[in-house]
Amino acid sequence: MSKNKELLWQSRFSLPFDRDALHYSSSVHVDKKLYHEDIKGSIAHVTMLAEEGIVSRDEAEQIITGLGEIEEELTSGALLPHWEDEDIHTVIENRLKEKIGATAGKLHSGRSRNDQVATDTRLYMRGQINELQEALHALLTVLVEKAETNCETIIFGYTHLQRAQPISAGHYYMAYFNMFNRDRQRLADLLKRVNISPLGAAAFAGSTLPLNPQRSAELLGFEDLFSNSIDAVSDRDIVIEFISACSMIMMHLSRFAEDLILWSSYEFGYLEISDAFATGSSLMPQKKNADIAELVRGKTGRVYGNLMAMLTIMKGLPLSYNRDMQEDKQPLFDSAETAVSSVRIFGKLLENTSLKKERLAKLTAEDLSLATEIAEYLVRKQIPFRDAHRITGKIVTWSLTSGVTLPNIPVETFREFSEAIEPDIYDCLKADVSVKSKKTHGSCSFDSVALQIREAKKTL
């Protein structure tokens, strides 16, 4: 049996930690991703220690130089983090000891891995929030472009996945704009709570050393400082909030994905996905599938799972730090990477889709989804809406049984249902007129969509 390396906390024990137990508890394979953040946090901490006279300038310099080299070694692969080192913090500290000897041990003055890992996590999240914001911005830009080029394209709007009323396709794209814009706002709000330094909370109770946590917070670009050391090391609310925000983004994407999948099917035939973003079948030569959209829809499930995992990990944990919290990284990393990559690829996919305008124009021209136009026409002729609705329902039934589409029903037939109907009925039985004549705030009319686009451009 090979001998364990010395663990940071080993001295109190008379037996070496069981190797299987160490293997089980090691998080190196997951948290090695945090090495940049860890080194950044250590450099800030030791800079502060030197400024406060807790370590000498010379010692701080040795530590900072060593940490810089270790960062390069980890990036180049010259140093491979090994599970025996328990976690990435220990990997780095042990390597520093190999490099500069006992002085390495001064880095940990007034710091515990509890505030260290909380700091690393916040730095990581700050980076991921920025990435996600950029990806969302790119997606919103594509949405505005799509809305602009399709402002006057008429599509069916749906409720219950049944054709409901004709709308501007731009209006549809702007609905998604609103959803992803809220996601951006959510992340911006979350960033305020993430951007708070926990460094200086030490294990959980603070330190007798004259630390200057304001200074290390400032060096790390945090906007604020923890106010309670117990909360500083125990709080994982931000992780839950972040995965929740990612879940919301994925939910929005998966709804959009579903529309693209349906609309690109032969049955709907509203939309073409570029060959560069479609997949085929290994057996059926004719197939053209929307796998990217399906994968986005599928990955949404994983992110929801991460949210449930994180809520469950934290449930019932006594204050303050507990080792359970080490399990936060896998769901956090997975959610961040899945959300960022999904938003990015979805923006590209969307750019590579086009609406089949001719087919849509043909389909929307004579469809029953114009029925609401007749009801509102009757209301304009002073018929109470409930009566107008009933009359129109009868007209729809007649259209269905006779096979005569609404715009082709003779005026005499219309008048058998209501004397209020006159030849001007045909003016409103056109999909584009229906869309154009919407008068209300935020409606699907071309003017309303143009206004939404102008406002959206201001926010971008």
Q: Which residues are catalytic?
A: 160, 281
Catalog residues that contact ligand ARG under the rule CB under 6 A: 27, 31, 87, 113-114, 117, 321, 323, 325-326
Q: Distance between CA atoms of 2 and 21, rounded to whole angstroms?
A: 14
Closest by CA to 273, choosing from 246, 293, 251, is 293
Closest by CA to 304, choosing from 240, 397, 261, 222, is 240
For ligand ARG, give the closer residue by CB, 219 or 313. Answer: 313
Q: Distance between CA atoms of 164 and 284, rounded to whole angstroms?
A: 34
For ligand ARG, give the closer residue by CB, 31 or 183. Answer: 31
Strand spans (E) along 64-161: 154-159
Q: How far is the CB of 332 from ligand ARG (least distance, A)?
A: 11
Backbone angles phi, psi at 273, to 5 degrees: -95, 130
HSE, side-chain direction, 13 A CA sphere, residue 367: 21
CB–CB of 67/39 below 8 Å? yes
- Structure tokens belonging to residue 249: 């983004």
For ligand ARG, give the closer residue by CB, 62 or 234. Answer: 234
Q: How far is the CB of 9 from ligand ARG (least distance, A)?
A: 8
CB–CB of 284/212 below 8 Å? no
Q: How far is the CB of 110 from ligand ARG (least distance, A)?
A: 15
**What count of other Cβ atoms lies within 10 Å of the Cβ of residue 21?**
9
For ligand ARG, give the closer residue by CB, 214 or 330. Answer: 330
For ligand ARG, give the closer residue by CB, 166 or 198. Answer: 198
CB–CB of 429/406 below 8 Å? yes
- Structure tokens belonging to residue 154: 């008429």
Q: How far is the CB of 233 from ligand ARG (least distance, A)?
A: 9
| Angle at alpha carbon of residue 34, lines to 33 and 39, rounded to 5° | 135
Q: How far is the CB of 214 from ligand ARG (least distance, A)?
A: 24
Q: Distance between CA atoms of 48 and 386, rounded to whole angstroms?
A: 74
Q: What is the dihedral of CA 324, 326, 331, 336, to 10 degrees?
A: 150
Q: CA-based Rg of the chain, rounded to a whole angstrom?
A: 31
For ligand ARG, give the closer residue by CB, 117 or 425. Answer: 117
Host H or E run for residue 355:
strand 353-355
Q: How far is the CB of 88 from ligand ARG (least distance, A)?
A: 8
For ligand ARG, give the closer residue by CB, 90 or 244. Answer: 90
Q: How far is the CB of 196 from ligand ARG (least distance, A)?
A: 18
